[in-house]
Structure 1
Amino acid sequence: MKLDKPVTGGPCWTELGTNDLEAAKRFYTELFGWRPQTDPRQEAGGYTVAHLGDAAVAALSPLYQEGQPVAWNVSFAVTDADAAVAKVTAEGGAVLVSPMDIFDVGRFAVVVDPAGAAFQLWQPRAFAGAGLLNEPGALGWVELLTRAPERAVVFYTGLFGWSVNASEHYTQWGIDGADFGGMVRMDEKFPPEVPPHWLPYFAVTDVDTTAATATEAGGTVLMEPTSVPGGPRIAVLRDPQGAVFGVYRAGDEG
């Protein structure tokens, strides 16, 4: 990911919805060295921001809605959340959470693309998003896993104006020449009950050590550390509560 700060149309934040907030704090602190800070206001509902130094890098929160899965969610920055939601529905997507103001920090919505992959829209005000990108422990790449890649290209380029860098094996998303994410076609290796989804990857110093640490802390390695030909060393992990995320070696992103 070549973006070093949140920009309009790009990934600006990632947050975990979990059924055990305290356990998640312990796990990710051990894994990434995060310093979690829970908002004390009752109306914040336990929302916890994870920091590296003074920089906010991600969030952890309880599950706020019935049926909400334990999962990592990816937010993309927009200039107008209401207009973006209208565009989502016009292009065949749907709204899960209508635009709402979050204190004075921004305006927020949750939507799904036409294939069912959920993502968030963030209209920044006082809070632009992650204070670090591509540094160890911070968000470094976002990947769409979908069974309808051709439809996804039409939808996301129309919504955000992304560029598409497609090869035989992988499609990358970009903004103004800066690739920040990719897309994987979900084939028969994916069980039918696994829905399309966005997967955040966090940069780490050592993928193998991080995978071992995750296992020791009660997590699971879903994809063993692998060096992608011409690309980064990566792994896909699952935390003890079931949320899936990826890691890649910092500096490999190109």
Structure 2
Amino acid sequence: MITTDFDPGTPCWLDLGAPDVGAAAAFYGAVLGWDYEPMGGGEDDGEPEGGIFRKDGRTVAGLGRLTEAGARSAWMLYYTVTDAAATTVAVERAGGTVRVPPRDLGEWGRMAQYSDPLGGQFAVWQPGSTTGVELVDAPGSLNWTELYTSDAAASKEFYGTVLGWSFSDMPLPGGGGEGTYTLITPAGLPEERMQGGLMQVSKDDLALTGGRPYWHPVFAVEDCDAAVAAVTANGGTVQMGPEDAEGVGRLAVCLDPSNADFVVLAPGGQN
């Protein structure tokens, strides 16, 4: 369960790097009912650099123009830390790499971005006046985080060392006893505060990143089938589903028009 308590090691923010900010804003507005608020100045072509997504007036995510050469459009997940500099040292000692060194963002806080030893990208946030998003675990907001990795044991070792997470394994829901899904709980929190999972897949299943692991967000929706219909009607595609996962709900793995991946989930067996 994700909350806005934002204890260390919990998800607190997410943003999307998109090649076309306006198109991305329109797509997620249609699929998740988000409103988009541009912020800051524009580029030479007049397109805003980015802004904020809101649901019912509350912040749910950020959006920015994709500027990194050769990068794919993707969601970046941020986790709360008490000291971004110390986390950076821990990342390097554990075999990860620093993509963006700790950077102050005014009074709001401090951020850094990394890659784990297998290439999975993630970020951290050391809060200042801003602790994170304002709405989670509700329709149209983040309610789970998920890592697809080529080596579950190595991923658990790294993230356990860097972010203090604990892990518990379970059979894949509906998997007929085949495959394992690892549940993630932040350090010092009870199991009901599980905030995500990781799953080992083959490199063939990591085609989006050329074989590298990747994180993606899971967004709660009231009706999974209606959300999927909105995805395809607005230029997105569906990689898997909709399908029912016992004890979880009805879900689908989707790509937006720029191939950024995300999951929509109607929890508890809703449509």
TM over 0.5: yes
How far off is 1:3 after superposition?
Answer: 3.2
Q: Residue 16 of structure 1 corresponds to which residue in structure 2? A: 16
How far off is 1:42 after superposition?
Answer: 6.2
Identity of aligned residues (%): 35
Structure 1 residues 150-169: aligned runs within 5 Å = 150-168=153-171, 169=180
Contact 2:248 2:267 in 1 (8 A): no
CA distances 1:31-84 after superposition (whole Å, capped 9, x unpaired): 1111111113469x7231101123110011101322222111111111111110
How far off is 1:174 after superposition?
Answer: 0.8
> Of 185, 189, 195, which residue of structure 1 is paired with 2:200?
185
Structure 1 residues 51-66: aligned runs within 5 Å = 51-66=54-69
Question: Measured at CA, do residues 188 and 8 of structure 1 come closer, stay the same or move farther in structure 2, by a change above 3 Å?
Answer: closer
Question: Measured at CA, do residues 58 and 170 of structure 1 come closer, stay the same or move farther in structure 2, by a change above 3 Å?
Answer: same
Contact 2:250 2:268 in 1 (8 A): no
Question: Measured at CA, do residues 219 and 124 of structure 1 come closer, stay the same or move farther in structure 2, by a change above 3 Å?
Answer: same
Aligned structure 1 segments of 4 or more residues deviating by more than 3 angstroms: 2-5, 250-253
Structure 1: give runs of 5+ residues left out of the alignment: none
Q: Residue 172 of structure 1 corresponds to which residue in structure 2? A: 183
State the alpha-carbon separation in 1 of the partners of residues 61 and 29 from structure 2.
12
Query: What letter is aligned with 1:110?
Result: Q
Q: Residue 125 of structure 2 corresponds to which residue in structure 1? A: 122
TM-score (norm 1): 0.93
Q: Residue 217 of structure 1 corresponds to which residue in structure 2? A: 234
CA distances 1:186-216 after superposition (whole Å, capped 9, x unpaired): 1265156242100111010011110011100
State the alpha-carbon separation in 2 of the partners of residues 4 and 101 from structure 1.
22
Worse overlay, 65-74 or 145-154: 65-74
State the alpha-carbon separation in 2 of the partners of residues 212 and 236 from structure 1.
13
Query: What letter is aligned with 1:151?
Result: A
State the alpha-carbon separation in 1 of the partners of residues 250 and 12 from structure 2.
23
2:266 pairs with 1:249: yes
Structure 1 residues 58-77: aligned runs within 5 Å = 58-77=61-80
Structure 2: give runs of 5+ residues left out of the alignment: 172-179
Secondary structure, counterpart of 1:40 in structure 2? strand
State the alpha-carbon separation in 1 of the partners of residues 95 and 66 from structure 2.
27
State the alpha-carbon separation in 1 of the partners of residues 67 and 7 from structure 2.
27
TM-score (norm 2): 0.88
Size of the aligned set, in residue pairs, is 252
Query: What letter is aligned with 2:34?
Result: W
Query: What letter is aligned with 1:118?
Result: Q
Secondary structure, counterpart of 2:239 in structure 1? strand
